[in-house]
């Protein structure tokens, strides 16, 4: 059986063949053995140096690949255990009852709402459902200015006061940490985050810190620049900065004016909410439905013009 000659041996042999050809030409032209020997020595040294350099570069590539794999394994194993511990370590009966109520309300609102779960309309409806079940739920509006590398922004979320403690309710928490080209380890963390999160602010703060660290590691592995809206300071401002809390189940007049008049989806949502409350008004006030002409009053001053959509009239 003929053994296959290693590629490195073939390259080394090619160097000598080339050197021999040059040496032959040198002998015929000048007869100098010293010159041909020097040329041969230079070629051999050049070959050995090139081989050594290629081996080092290959080892560096392997080392970098192993380092990335080690970092991803760290996300997969160490971070997974810590995240599970943060999410499920505390046996809080109050939190358990809130979680069950939120899951039920979420299913009801999600099935009847055409807006996404991140929209103010959805969150307001979810808050209203929780209040109808006797919970002290509110819609919190946070807003922050640009500071350093942290961009300005605003956010809305639901909180709930129960048993002397404040709980934050967040539906689809994994959507707040979605990134491009996630590593395998980071993707496994997203799968651990529950569809409905209920927890105290300090609990969510630890989850946010862990996930933001994992985001940075995952994007470093992928060689992607970390966007400003996935930085820790930006994300934590959503839930832990200053906020205003409201328990109104419908948009205020000021909020309605900010949406404007006409056929916008927000305006149609507002009119639908108010019209759906028509039956409650009739039942409580005793006014006959035939005597009730209900519509939405929306006035918006823009460029000196006043748009009047409708008026609520009770005869």
Maximum distance among all Cα pairs of the chain, rounded to whole angstroms: 124
Q: Residue 72 has what pLDDT?
A: 75
pTM for the whole structure: 0.60
For residue 162, the cross-strand partners are 165
Q: Residue 84 has what pLDDT?
A: 93
* Cα 94 to Cα 279: distance, rounded to the nearest angstrom: 34
* Cα 77 to Cα 31: distance, rounded to the nearest angstrom: 70
Please list the pLDDT of the chain residue by residue as tens digits (315 residues).
544 445 554 555 555 555 555 555 544 444 444 555 566 666 666 666 666 666 665 555 545 445 556 677 777 778 999 999 999 877 789 999 999 999 999 999 986 666 677 777 899 999 999 999 999 999 999 999 999 999 999 999 999 999 999 999 999 999 999 999 999 999 999 999 999 999 999 999 999 999 999 999 999 999 999 999 999 999 999 999 999 999 998 765 555 444 444 444 444 444 454 444 444 444 444 444 334 333 333 333 333 333 333 333 333
Written as one string, the DSSP assignment of 212-240 is HHHHHHHHHHHT-PPPGGGSHHHHHHHHH
Q: Residue 76 has what pLDDT?
A: 76
Length in residues, the chain: 315
Q: Which residues contact 175 (CB under 8 A, 6 or more apart)?
A: 117, 118
Q: Residue 110 has what pLDDT?
A: 84
* Cα 37 to Cα 148: distance, rounded to the nearest angstrom: 66
Count Cβ atoms within 10 A of the Cβ of residue 138 and give its class: 0-12 exposed, 13-18 middle, 19 or more buried.
buried
The CA-to-CA distance between both ends of the chain, in Å, stands at 107
Written as one string, the DSSP assignment of 120-172 is HHHHHHHHHHHHHTT-EEEEEEEEE--BTTBPPEEEEEEEEEETTEEEEEEES
Strands 153-162 and 292-293: unpaired
Contact yes or no for 102/137 (Cβ under 8 A): no
Helices 201-222 and 184-192: crossing angle in degrees, nearest 10, is 160
**Residue corresponding to tokens 């009852």:** 97
* Cα 151 to Cα 148: distance, rounded to the nearest angstrom: 8
What is the phi/psi pair of residue 254, to 5°? Answer: -65, -40
């Amino acid at each position: 059986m003929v053994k296959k000659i290693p590629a490195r041996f073939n390259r080394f042999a090619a160097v000598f063949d080339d050197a021999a050809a040059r040496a032959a030409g040198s002998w015929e032209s000048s007869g100098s053995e010293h010159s041909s020997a020097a040329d041969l020595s230079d070629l051999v040294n050049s070959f050995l140096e090139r081989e050594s350099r290629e081996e080092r570069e290959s080892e560096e590539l392997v080392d970098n690949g192993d380092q990335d794999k080690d970092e991803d394994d760290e996300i997969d194993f160490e971070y997974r255990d810590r995240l599970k511990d943060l999410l499920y370590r505390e046996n809080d009966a109050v939190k358990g009852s809130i979680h069950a109520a939120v899951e039920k309300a979420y299913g009801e609102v999600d099935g009847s709402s055409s807006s996404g779960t991140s929209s103010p309309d959805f969150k307001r409806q979810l808050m209203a459902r929780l209040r109808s079940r006797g919970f002290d739920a509110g819609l919190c509006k946070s807003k922050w200015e640009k500071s350093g590398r942290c961009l300005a922004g605003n956010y809305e979320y639901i909180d709930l006061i129960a048993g002397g403690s404040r709980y934050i309710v967040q539906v689809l928490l994994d959507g707040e940490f979605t990134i491009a080209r996630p590593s395998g380890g980071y993707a496994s963390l997203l799968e651990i985050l529950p569809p409905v999160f209920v927890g105290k602010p300090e609990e969510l703060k630890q989850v946010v810190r862990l996930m933001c660290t994992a985001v940075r590691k995952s994007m470093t592995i992928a060689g992607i620049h970390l966007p400003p809206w996935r930085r820790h300071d930006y994300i934590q401002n959503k839930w832990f900065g200053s906020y205003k809390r409201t328990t109104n189940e419908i948009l205020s007049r000021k909020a309605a004016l900010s949406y404007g008049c006409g056929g916008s989806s927000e305006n149609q949502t507002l009119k639908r909410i108010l019209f759906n409350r028509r039956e409650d008004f009739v039942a409580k006030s005793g006014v006959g439905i035939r005597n009730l002409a209900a519509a939405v009053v929306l006035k918006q001053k823009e460029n000196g013009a006043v748009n009047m959509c409708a008026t609520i009239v009770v005869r």
